Structure 1
Amino acid sequence: MLFTPLPLAENLEFRNGKSSPERIDNGEFFVYGSNGIIGKSNKNNSSKNTIIIGRVGSYCGSLYYSKRPCWVTDNAIICKSKNNDDRFWYYALLNLNLSRLSSGSGQPLINQSVLQKTVCKTPPFEDRQKIASILGSLDDKIDLNRRTNETLEAMARALFRDWFVDFGPTQAKMAGEAPYLAPELWELFPDRLDDEGKPEGWELRRLHDILEFNYGKSLPTQKRIKGEIPVYGSGGVTGLHNEALVTTPTIIVGRKGTVGALYWENRTCFPIDTVFYVTSKLPLSYCFYLLETLGLENMNTDAAVPGLNRDNAYRLEVFYPPAVLIHSFANIVENWRNKIITNESESRTLAQLRDLLLPKLMSGEISIREAEKIVEDAA
């Protein structure tokens, strides 16, 4: 490939976003800030295929790509190609590591003039299209896996709510409605509610009878050793380490900071001291979707630093079904969870491949044909 060093202004246009519009949960367009999607709105200020660049703050230089029209707020920059090859330029900007262009010690900032003058090794238009197609195909598959997993999660969540929160099968029996589950499942549900409003034969238990919240362990950033073990804080994965604290699948629960945040982790992991990790004799799937219904995020006990008190959570009362129903639910959901695990693993592999190919394609270290062959072999 032939590369020509050119300032970004030769191919790209930049303009600042605008203050955030009114956000609504069911809005048509995503709203982007410097840290990515921050909500939805019925208004947009940029067309499809927009590159969003974090303009100010700790996310200065961060990059996002929106295939659909969107709203970009005033702490980010809207970037558009002059030649309708926006996706290539998204990858080219990723490769440039824009955060290095920021200025200001207190509040990092990137301005348009710096971006316009930044030089990028630029291949011909046809090669730009091919590079975008190669890298984009990997991101498209990652996005498909994400959306598939969201659907599977929603199915599991809906099934749990129907069986264990709304008591759908029992309510249907009481109303004389036709069965909507397999006969062997349908017969497991009683045909009436007791005086407490729960299905007859179910128990009222406290959360500490069902699962245990275990404290994570302190692991400062400077003590982490490069490895493949995800390190969990209350905001999710915060880094990697070479040693695991938990070696079996678990649920991570935010304790300090993002109170009540829930993460399912099938790999070995290291939960730090801002989270709990869950152990139980019951199926993990039942525990996870039960915890989602308890409103743990609203149980902050500390105004200064949000915190979840374990003893308060343990005292929560839940309607407890017979074990056969719990295991029947887990058997159904396990198939969906296995598909989610497979998709997550594939997406991690595809992301690693994309990150490997990106600098090699942008420097000409490998040819387009070589990259196409690598992606074909990985498919």
Structure 2
Amino acid sequence: MSSESHTCTVEELVASGILAPPLDGNHGAIHPKASDFVPSGIPFIMASDMHDGRVDTTNCAFISQKQASSLRKGFSKSGDVLLSHKATIGRTALVGDMGYPYLVLTPQVTYYRVLKPTLLNNRFLKYYFDSQPFQETLAAWAGSGSTRAYLGITAQRKLPITLPPISTQKAIAETVGALDDRIALLRETNATLEAIAQALFKSWFVDFDPVHAKQLGRIPEGAVQGSTSAAQGRMPLAALDEATAALFPDSFEESVLGLVPRGWRAAPIGDVVEIVGGGTPDTKEPSFWEPAEHCWTTPKDLSGIHSPILLSTDRKLSTKGLAKVSSGLLPTGTLLMSSRAPIGYLAIAQVPLAINQGYIAILPASELPPLFMLYWCRQNMDNIKGRANGSTFMEISKKAFRPIPAVVPNSKVIKAFVDVVGALFERLVENEKQAQTLATLRDTLLPRLISGQLRLPEAEAMLETV
């Protein structure tokens, strides 16, 4: 290879033995179906299992070892670079160390396997696939935006790849990878913070642990053991302090929901929260959208978020367009829940915004505040979805949502919960803001590094400022 970058095709890299022939999953009759899935076995990886450049087997489907052995292709192993090429176009992942002999891919995912790591760095290849020029090429060739967006293996072999010298590849992979590692750490921390908050909600408001403990004469548990410990996930729940424990009763009483803590009550959720819907101004009327002044959200804005917060929106309305949305501009702190296609995306708005008709929004002035309701909705999502209906797609209407029964604690307990979880949530928001800043920097640096417009020392200097 020359000392300068050069462009070749996937096919040429295969012919030179640098790449193995790229392969996707099995098509036709032998393609595993939902009825073939088993509780454990060999992971069956779809594009939806590829997150943040990694393969997530937490919620993936599995097929049996026997069925996997009967397949012809699509066996991916550690070190492979994955690329989605059907419907969901351009999602990537680097297969890391795993506790399985291999992964089986669906026909919508292709693996790229480096055979000569002295000439091609697999992490660089993954980042090259992530770069904007490549993504734009891939989308154009696949007909992105179409319901049938697809780029088969034969066409993928014609894709261009620009390769700098291997030393440069490694340096780019290391530089960009350092950003990815920082982003991953922030989001892992946020996942821990969310898990702690959900565990606290369940302890206080589902299992009623403090009440049961007081009933038995024990010291109630259910406190977060300090923000640092909480963020690291160490012993998140400890004994309640005396003042907080005093807020809980020591007995239960009957309600329409069964036994609830004495002094608490059962009520339709619509009686204790203020909810609104939204709308979409005429998209063919430019004056509703320009100048772009006010954030306006659709559930699509929540589809790729990593934490339950919305920092910005893809589209904005003009003041004239905002007037066409009956609920107007909702305040910061509003809880958003997608009510259709799909039901159940959740986020608390960090900016004032208007919403479209695909949401149920819960306003901050409610008796049960949005932070409480975030975890209530998660805890009760099966019930919420069970009340949905629709012929084209399932939808939970405001009318169907309002009657859902809820246990309503006394106001002092609610405030105590919001005080504790609010501190965790503030950290979560700051972590996600930092993660998005780093992701923006990564996406800015990547194409410039690959093209040679930006030298590595300059990139490293930029990294020192964040």
Asked whether the two chains share a fold, i.e. TM above 0.5, the reply is yes
Deviation at 1:60, TM superposition (A): 3.5
For residue 268 of structure 2, the aligned residue among 197, 206, 219 is: 206
Q: What is the distance in 1 between the residues matched to 2:291 and 2:170?
A: 36
Aligned to 1:363: 451
Aligned to 2:46: 32
2:249 matches 1:190: yes
Show structure 1 runs of 5+ residues with no match: none
Aligned to 2:19: 12
The answer to whether the Cα contact below 8 Å between 1:61 and 1:110 also exists between their aligned partners in 2 is: no
Aligned to 2:93: 64
**Deviations 1:82-131, CA, capped at 9 Å, x for gaps:** 23421100111222122223269873332333333333221111110110
Distance change >3 Å, CA 248–CA 106, structure 1 → 2: closer
Aligned to 2:116: 83
Paired residue secondary structure (2:335): strand
The CA RMSD over aligned residues, in Å, is 2.9
Task: State the number of aligned residues.
Answer: 377
**Deviations 1:166-224, CA, capped at 9 Å, x for gaps:** 11111122233343211111121111111331111112222122212211221566665
The answer to whether the Cα contact below 8 Å between 1:260 and 1:298 also exists between their aligned partners in 2 is: no
Matched ranges for 1:1-379 at <5 A: 2-9=4-11, 10=13, 11-13=18-20, 14-18=22-26, 19-20=31-32, 23=37, 29=43, 31-33=45-47, 36=50, 39-41=60-62, 45-56=75-86, 58-69=87-98, 70-84=103-117, 85-95=121-131, 96-97=134-135, 98-102=138-142, 107-179=148-220, 180-196=239-255, 197-219=259-281, 224=289, 231-237=296-302, 240-243=314-317, 245-281=329-365, 282=367, 283-294=369-380, 295-378=383-466
Distance change >3 Å, CA 285–CA 141, structure 1 → 2: same
Deviation at 1:267, TM superposition (A): 2.6
**Deviations 1:268-305, CA, capped at 9 Å, x for gaps:** 33321111211142432112212223321222132333
Query: Which range moved further: 309-318 or 172-181?
Result: 172-181
Distance change >3 Å, CA 72–CA 257, structure 1 → 2: same
Distance change >3 Å, CA 62–CA 228, structure 1 → 2: farther
Q: What is the distance in 2 between the residues matched to 1:265 and 1:49?
A: 38
The answer to whether the Cα contact below 8 Å between 1:35 and 1:54 also exists between their aligned partners in 2 is: no
Deviation at 1:151, TM superposition (A): 1.1
Give the TM-score of the pair, scaled to structure 2. Answer: 0.73
Deviation at 1:330, TM superposition (A): 0.3
Query: Which range moved further: 327-336 or 14-23?
Result: 14-23
Paired residue secondary structure (1:349): helix
Deviation at 1:160, TM superposition (A): 0.8
Distance change >3 Å, CA 286–CA 26, structure 1 → 2: farther
The answer to whether the Cα contact below 8 Å between 2:296 and 2:355 also exists between their aligned partners in 1 is: yes
Distance change >3 Å, CA 202–CA 77, structure 1 → 2: same
Distance change >3 Å, CA 219–CA 66, structure 1 → 2: farther
Q: What is the distance in 2 between the residues matched to 1:29 and 1:4?
A: 37
Distance change >3 Å, CA 61–CA 202, structure 1 → 2: closer
Q: What is the distance in 2 between the residues matched to 1:193 and 1:67?
A: 50
The answer to whether the Cα contact below 8 Å between 1:247 and 1:268 also exists between their aligned partners in 2 is: yes
Q: For residue 202 of structure 1, what is the amino acid of its counterpart?
A: W
Deviation at 1:154, TM superposition (A): 1.0
Distance change >3 Å, CA 20–CA 33, structure 1 → 2: farther
The answer to whether the Cα contact below 8 Å between 1:33 and 1:74 also exists between their aligned partners in 2 is: no
Query: Which range moved further: 140-149 or 356-365?
Result: 140-149
The answer to whether the Cα contact below 8 Å between 2:124 and 2:172 also exists between their aligned partners in 1 is: yes
Show structure 2 runs of 5+ residues with no match: 51-55, 69-74, 221-238, 304-312, 323-328
